[in-house]
Amino acid sequence: MEENRLAESRESTLPGPFAVGRYARKLQEEMRKRARVQLIGEVTGVGRSKVQVYFELRDGEGAVPCAIWLNDLEKAGLDEKSLRDGAEVVISGGPDYYPGGGAASPSFSFRATHVRLAGEGDLIARLEALRKQLRAEGLFELQKQLARPLLPKAIGVVTAETCGINPRGNPRN
């Protein structure tokens, strides 16, 4: 009985009661105010809806549920196959809270706005971005298909300091 009175006295000093929806929206606002950061970790448990990819980012000390919109994933130059279990990634974003509703469950996640492969995958991602840029500039076109001026503006001559022949006129080994 004494415990019940102590619990009631503590409850009477708390603000509220609030409607669940109002509290959930306030929680969502507060979560979205938090600082945007970068996280690095290993991807596990990848799932997909029509508009998002869901996954957990883990390391040896913890895990964070994450989500990224499909269009943000495409902007990063990655396809869904790149975001696979075991891949190490760096993601940018911040905490988010979905308040749920009558039929939908609430959920917390780290809302990623950008993702890139880390380590060796980072190099591959940079090479792929460079390939896209060079392809857009037409530099992967066959030489025969490139437009050339009728008259060149400059002609270059390539020479070497030595021609590969020794002073006696014999080829060098």
Contacts of 72 (CB under 8 A, 6+ apart): 112, 113, 114, 115
Query: How confident is the model over 102-154, as pLDDT tens digits?
Result: 788 888 999 999 998 886 555 566 777 888 888 888 877 777 666 777 888 88
Query: How confident is the model over 7-42, as pLDDT tens digits?
Result: 566 667 888 888 988 888 888 898 888 889 999 999
Is 2-117 in CATH node 1.10.10.10?
Answer: no
Q: Residue holding tokens 């690095």?
A: 40
| Concatenated DSSP letters of 123-159 | HHHHHHHHHHHHHHTTTTS-GGGS---SS-S------
Spatial contact of 11 and 51, defined as CB atoms under 8 Å apart: no
Q: Give residue limits of the domains in the chain.
A: 2-117
